[in-house]
Structure 1
Amino acid sequence: MKDYTDIKQRLRGSITPVVTPFKQNYDIDFEKQSELIEFQLDNGTHAISVTGTSGEPSSLTIEERVQVMENAMRTINGRVPFAPGTGSTNHDETMYLTKRAEEMGADAAMVIVPYYNKPNQHALYKHFKTVADAVQIPIIIYNIPGRTAVNMEVDTMARLVQDCPNIIGAKESNKDFEHVNRVLQRCGRDFLLFSGIELLCYPMLAIGGAGSISATANVLPSKVADMHDAWEEGDLKRAQDLHFELMQLNDVLFKDTNPAPVKAALGMMGKIEPVLRLPMDLPTEALQQEIRETLDVYGIATQRA
């Protein structure tokens, strides 16, 4: 049986789910993607993910998702762990993408609970077990009921962890804090629990969480990474202060569907062209103005319209 001790020790802290930048003609801008990853690494981010919710995977073809993963893998070049999102609403696509992540040498694969088709708990178990059994790459379950319309229940997750040694953690984008407590209780205190809810990133550390996979880290990676560093160093007051300091930015970046506000902010910062593929689009002009004003509060340089 493969030993997952090393990756469970390394895959911690702020894992940024990097957006997928597009050009004005909607082609993927791989040069900008590499620049975004370098921006993250320069600002202390502990690991990188792509093609999760923030990466607009449902707006990419399967071939494009592989290309985004490969470009990220080349750019990171082993400097930090890499855990791309490989899940889909389609089982065979999930199998294919997870195997490709393993083949290219990714450190883990983040597999979302299938969205739209609303499988029951038994079907969820079969889906994830079939994927996990087909590979040896570590799997992080991505539970985001607000986007998938179904919640992976604690019993289902615990059963998968018991039956699949390579399921090592979960990203819980679940506002039910009782649920996430019970995930650790049932799955084991060494289970890697990552917060996908920005206002729960700090509280989840307090119960034994491994870190966060926060869209906000696209915009202000240093502060998100600093919060985790402070926690690890035992400076709980500083970690708590950073938690509250980030709250205004967290709030404004989720006043519209992720990643629209994040891409608007990155556009204002001159990091990318602020382009999303339909059916997604940028926030209203009023919200964009609020985002710009919030970036000013944080001292983030913006390009004036």
Structure 2
Amino acid sequence: MTKTYEEIKQRLRGSITPVITPFKADFSIDYDKQSELIEYQLNNGTHAISVTGTSGEPSSLTIEERVKVMDNAKKTINGRVPFAPGTGSTNHDETMYLTRKAQEIGADAAMVIVPYYNKPNQQALYKHFKTVADSVDIPIIVYNIPGRTALNMEVETLAKLNEDCPNIVGVKESNKDFEHVNRVMLRCGRDFLLYSGIELLCYPMLTIGGAGSISATANVEPAKVAEMHDAWTMGDVKRAQDLHFELMKLNDVLFKDTNPAPVKTALGMMGKIEPVLRLPMDLPSKSLQNEIRETLVEYGKLLQPT
């Protein structure tokens, strides 16, 4: 490795945007649009980039497409900010392959989701993550999202992985149980990287020592999400609190249907992408689309309703 884990951990902080995967009208991946979305993020203060996480519809992509999306993102970023793609799958061998590919293309870290659908026990979870971590030299961020995996990585399992695997450096907690995330910090140590994947907990997690957030909302409003982290880091608590509440209505509307359908709808209205998802995902109802449009107007992302 060219950097130690500690050096990389210092850089993997702030707003890490999980960039969506843009599709064309024929459902093929629009790599040019992907690059434009990444530039939009970097021009608005985003601190790091992820792709092929939940917002990137990884279960709708082939393995080859996931590698190409990662590779295109890495080339677009070109070292300007850290890059931590999602490499997890419900299939162990696919997770191993994708995580190794992330290292091969030069990713700074890999985000590995708790396997969905299978519902392994905690011992099996430990074996899965340890085997993946042992197969690479790059840092691993565990992605715990029980609302979509139907499984929670328990604090003791995560702590044992942190103890046994030097490159398991943090966790994205898309977990509404704030007691759980407090216990993660207590058990894993204050230098363990804790990221919020729950939009309304992005600010509260900073107050207990969190490293930042990996928030789908940052696809739409990257500047304010990044500024909230910057304000907190600079000691401007009031500004960070103000931004937390300013973002709340947008956060709410973007999660009234399954992510990333509302986010893609919003980006389509903003002229950033074609609002296309691959089945079995689809766009929200017309009534929710209208609500998203009205919210974007309120936030100054659209000049007027259409």
Q: Under a length normalisation based on structure 2, what TM-score does the superposition of the two structures give?
A: 0.98
Query: Is 2:267 the partner of 1:266?
Result: yes
Q: In the alignment, which residue of structure 2 is the partner of 1:45? A: 46
| Paired residues of 1:66 and 1:97 also in contact (CA < 8 A) | yes
SS, match of residue 129 in structure 1:
helix
Partner of 1:143: 144
1:1-305 equivalences under 5 Å are 3-301=4-302
Q: Which amino acid aligns with 1:171?
A: K
Task: Return the alpha-carbon distance in structure 2 between the equivalents of residues 136 and 113 of structure 1.
Answer: 20
Secondary structure in 2 matching 1:165: coil
- Tell me, what secondary structure is at the counterpart of 1:94? helix
State the one-letter code of the partner of 1:197: I
* 8 A Cα contact 1:46 1:225, kept in partner: yes
Say whether the 8 Å CA contact 1:195–1:213 is kept in structure 2: yes
Distance, in Å, in 1 between the alignment partners of 2:105 and 2:188 is 29
For 2:77 and 2:12, the matched residues in 1 are separated by 14
Q: RMSD across aligned C-alpha pairs, in angstroms?
A: 1.1
Answer yes or no: is the 8 Å Cα contact 2:195–2:214 preserved in 1.
yes
DSSP-derived class of the 1:168 partner:
strand
In 1, distance between residues paired with 2:305 and 2:291? 13
CA distance in 2, matches of 1:157, 1:24: 41
Matches of 1:249 and 1:46, distance apart in 2: 20
CA deviation after TM superposition for structure 1 residue 301, in Å: 2.0
- Shift in Å at residue 303 of structure 1? 8.1
Give me the TM-score of the superposition, normalised by structure 1.
Answer: 0.99
Which is worse superposed, 34-43 or 293-302? 293-302
- The SS at the match of 2:245 is helix
Structure 1 unaligned runs (5+)?
A: none
CA distance in 1, matches of 2:253, 2:303: 16
- CA deviation vs aligned residue, 1:122-181 (integer Å, no higher than 9, x gap): 000000000001111100000000000000000000000000000000000000000000
> Offset of 1:302 from its aligned partner?
5.9
Contact 2:19 2:56 in 1 (8 A): yes
Q: Contact 1:205 / 1:211 at 8 angstroms: preserved in 2?
A: yes
Contact 2:297/2:305 (8 A) holds in 1: no
Identity value in percent? 82
Unaligned runs of 5+ in 2: none
User: d(CA) in 2 for partners of 1:31 and 1:304?
Assistant: 28
